Amino acid sequence: MRTSGSTDLENCPVSEDLLKRLLDATLSAGSDLGAQLPEPQRAALAVYCYRRSHLRRLGLSLAALCSRSALMMEAGHAGELIHVQAQAGVMHDTDTASRPKGTRAPVSLHVV
């Protein structure tokens, strides 16, 4: 399957104002805001957020609102993996409160 987007890793697919509102909202309110976006834009935003560890939770909550095909059109095989994680409810928690004391969060420079 040919991917249509996600080659631009730097530019956010929504306005800065909408991204700020999504970040300020709780996950459920963020999902409500995200549900108002057209599915291709929502999938692009889900992939954009997922690729940034501090936004991964938001990315997965948005991905849960997307079809598998929309995520695959956006990010190919990575989109399919994001879809599987979102449907399974996998949330990668990077909070320091959830890690054992004295340990560090894993760091990766790998782009998904």
Distances in Å between the Cα of 73 and the Cα atoms of 28, 31, 49 are 25, 21, 16
Distance CA 25, CA 50 (A): 17
Residue written as tokens 């938001």? 58
pLDDT tens-place string over residues 58-92: 899 999 999 999 999 999 999 999 999 999 986 54
| Residue 1 banded pLDDT, cuts 50, 70, 90 | very low
pLDDT at 112 (0 to 100): 55
pLDDT tens-place string over residues 12-44: 888 888 888 888 887 677 778 888 999 999 999
The sign of the dihedral angle between the CA atoms of 68, 69, 73, 77 is positive
pLDDT of 99 higher than 70: no
Distance CA 79, CA 66 (A): 10
| Residue 2 banded pLDDT, cuts 50, 70, 90 | very low
Q: What is the pTM of this model?
A: 0.70
